[in-house]
Every structure is written in C-alpha cells, then in structure tokens.
Structure 1
C-alpha cells in the first residue's frame, strides 16, 4: 500500500531525530585535530615533527601574521674549514579558539650548530644562556610561550642533552633533512623531545 505524504514526513522527521546525536558527535570530533607524524624523508618536503613528553608536536602556522612554521638558516662561517652555521626553528601556533585541542599550542623547537661540513651526528651538549634564540654552541631548546614568564628548556650537560643527526645537507638544492631527540631542562623540570624528524628547504 502506498505511503501517504504525511507518513513519509513523519518518518523523515523521526530518522533525523535519531541521527541528530550521531551527527553532532561527528561534528564535535571533527573539531579535534588528528595530528600525524610525517615520515622520515630527505626530499625537501618542508615537514617536521616530534613527540614532546609523548604527545605529537607538529609545526603549525595557524595565526594570521604569526611566525612561520619553519625557519632555516645556513650561512658559511667566517673561520676557514668550519663549513656552515646551521639553525632550524620550528614554530607551533594553534588557531585562535582551538588552543585546548593542541598540546603545547604556542611553542617553538630550535637548534643551533656552529659548524657543519657534511651530514653527520651532532651532540647537543654545550651550555647556553637565555635570552633565546641563542647562537652559542651546539644546542637544542624548547620554548613554551603559553606560560608567564616564558619557559625555556635548553640542552646543556648531564640529563639535559641530546643529538641531532643530519642525513642530507645539500647546499645546491638547499635541502637539509635529519632526525633529533633531546632532553631540555628548566630548573629541576625536564622535558623530553623524542622521535624528531625534519626535511626542510631554505
């Protein structure tokens, strides 16, 4: 027997009522970002990431007129035979209003190497002092801008150390790629950065 227009309307309304919680749940979950670590590459993909105390941390330029997500500098050193100075700055600025969904929503990871001749492994174990960014010795530092005052977690000596491995250092194609891990320290507080990787152009 054919269904009347009124019955069809009531049936459609009932279906939408039953689906409403599911749809609203989907909408809510879609606002929470699923950040995936990029693969380890050496192609100039302009990708980077790490785990900060076990949580995924990706560079993100989510604020209008904010800092760029990637900033790379490779300059020939004035001293003969020392190659190039290398600095890498990875910035994370979550979109305004969504900061609660991002671990360390306003933060920065930065490295400085005073002398790079070729790909290789570089210990991050030379003491540096604030203010940051600093160009003093081999180091890494995580800076948390969500705190007041700003918290810096640099490497240095003892437990606050780490390693940056450059797997591609191409001054012709202007590509630098590699991996990193380090422990930064502020007073007695340690912060661990693990499984880091970067593949950037400059």
Structure 2
C-alpha cells in the first residue's frame, strides 16, 4: 500500500464531515472501487445547517437546488495533472427519509454499471510524485479543467453537485494508487496532517 497523501480541503466556507475513515474502515461500508479510505463533505450554511428537514423531506425527493451548497466551487486538493474528467451526468433530486431508503436499495444496480455511475461528474488528478485523487459528484457542466492540464492547490475544478451515487449535494474524495479504478488499491488521506471525524465541521474560510 502506498503511504498516505496529505491534501488540502477542496472547498471554502463550512462543511460537515461524513463517512470518514477516522471512524471506520472501509469508510463507506465497502472496499469496492478502492473506497476504503474515501471521505465525504456536506456543505452547510452560515448557521451550520444543511437544508432544513420538513415532513415533505421525509416523504418525497427534493430539488438539489434547495440545498445550500449546490453550485459551490470545488477546488483542487493537490498539485498535479488532470488524468480524467467526466461532466455530462445529470444532477438528480436529493433523497432523505423514506426516499433515501428506496434510493439505497438500488445502489447495487448502480454499482454493477461501474464506478463512473457511482462517481457521477468527477475530476481525477494525478498528484506530483503520488497517487491519483478522485473528486466526485460535481454539478453537470461545471467542470473547468481538461485532461492533461496542470492544476494547483486551490484552483477551481467545478461546482458541488448531486450527480452519481449521491443522496444530497456533497463532495466525495478518495485516493488510489493507479488511474484504473477497477484494479486500484486505496491510499489513506489526511488534511493538514490529520483526519476529521464524522460530524466534525470544517471551516475552510
């Protein structure tokens, strides 16, 4: 296994940590597609909340645009070269409550299609002297970089979306030891030398 790679947070403002490998490995409940050390961040508003939950939220899908982070800039977490880009997947509604249960039941079918179906719109960055970093669930048509382009930490890659295997707008990061996700091994990640735990709020300024 490759040594861990230290990343910058790929966003500004306040985000909630979810599915952190600081709490369990594999962090997403499966080692499929080298996701053992993957992590998610959910955008929050200035009051420290995601979209408010109502009775309707528990009973039916909601527009992704209702969530405070939909469309926020997503930034490069590492210096490197763009090794892959996908930007045409649709942003689907968000699912909480009963709709999220129904959506979860179809996850196996999405996984059977392949990793791009789960990642949605994404950017793959081959880090300088290191692994490949996948930044996933971007907004359709928002990707601002192209394959082969060199990027620096903090450069805008695209915008937060709800594409792929996503119940609400958020960003998913994982590091892998090669570009071919099907045969890749996961690489541990840290942010500024540490790994936030589930429920920790990151204020990136």
TM-score (norm 1): 0.27
TM-score (norm 2): 0.27
Bigger relative CO (Cα 8 Å, ≥ 6 apart):
2
Select the structure that is richer in strand.
Answer: 1
* Bigger Rg, which one: 1
